[in-house]
Amino acid sequence: MKHYDLIVIGGGPIGIACGLEAKKNGLNYLIIEKGPIVNSLFNYPINMQFFSSSEKLEIDGIPFISNEAKPKRNEALEYYRRIVTSNDINIHLFEKVNTVKKENKTFFIDTEKQNYTANQVIVATGFYDIPNTINVPGEDLPKVSHYYKDPHFFAKQKLVVVGASNSAVDAALECYRKGADVTMIVRSPEIGNRVKYWVKPDIENRISEGSINVFFNSTVNEILPQHIIINTPEEKVRIENDYVLALTGYTPNFDFLQKIGIQLSDDEKKHPKYDDQTMESNISGLYLAGVICGGMDTHVWFIENSRIHAKTIIKHIISNQSSVS
């Protein structure tokens, strides 16, 4: 069983930033990631463009050069992959962490492949792996997906997009432009202000001209193999349908957090407990980093405002080592 000063769970941008900072400070560290490098970004839509500009996505001061001010998914994959490979970051990929337990002052980390021990642990697991379900009959049909990848698949198909987030709006526009017959189901009375400012006029104009159909103040009642039934303010509407993209957001893996002993707030926000000055959780030596810190408020933390977590955590670890010695 190999021992490390620090194990980082999650190989996204913030997990990589933690690894870089640990390496610079001479810590014996390991990043464990259940998928490929920056797994969440890899699973983003192929043509996705970030809301943030490239310099705000940089970690450790390493320049991120993109073709436009706001980079696209493929450019981000290239950027973070090169950081990992050129800096020889110690990362194990496609290795899922099952449990983390602390005995005395040592953490025991059990994965699908092997076991480790560590003095400290950072959880930087993000929130993209568990979709928010809409909990209606038929949601488990093969025609329904909570993830969107490529608009080509939906050409000449009757597509329903549920939601009005950035991902839902992007999917609706891209699929419409590739020949899909798109209908949006939006719970609110309009397209929200959190939609990317350069995209919002586009979707509103496509709706106004009738290119994309929309039901505002509406929800899905039932999904059938060849139809979908929608609750509107006036009545239930039944429309022909081939595919449904239920892009209603994602949630952190709260079960994993609770299983390892991290306390969550009692309300629906489920904010994990941590010291915002050190990022240390209620478990001594176990830290939280990145969007996981926001609980259900997944819009609070992004790469650009949570990349500082890496320096904050490693500084605290080093200062604790100095005080002990």
Round the average pLDDT of the chain to a whole number and report it.
94
Are the C-beta atoms of residues 107 and 192 closer than 8 Å to each other?
no
Percent of the chain beyond pLDDT 70? 99
The architecture of the domain spanning 133-246 is 3-Layer(bba) Sandwich (3.50)
pTM summary value: 0.89
Cα 3 → chain centroid: 29
Among candidate residues 289, 297, 300, the one with its CA nearest the CA of residue 20: 289
Confidence tier at 128 by pLDDT (50, 70, 90): confident
163 Ramachandran zone, left/alpha/beta (phi>0; psi -120 to 50) = left
Which residue in this structure is represented by tokens 């990631």? 33
pLDDT at position 227: 98
Query: Hey, what CATH class is 2-130+250-324 in?
Result: alpha beta
Residue range 254-283, pLDDT digits in tens: 999 999 999 999 998 999 999 999 999 999
Residues linked to residue 6 through DSSP beta bridges, in sequence order: 29, 120
Give start-end residues of each CATH 3.50.50.60 domain in the chain.
2-130+250-324, 133-246
Q: What percent of the chain has pLDDT over 90?
A: 84
Across 171-175, average pLDDT: 97
Q: Tens of pLDDT along 24-77?
A: 999 999 999 999 999 999 988 999 989 889 999 999 999 999 999 899 999 999
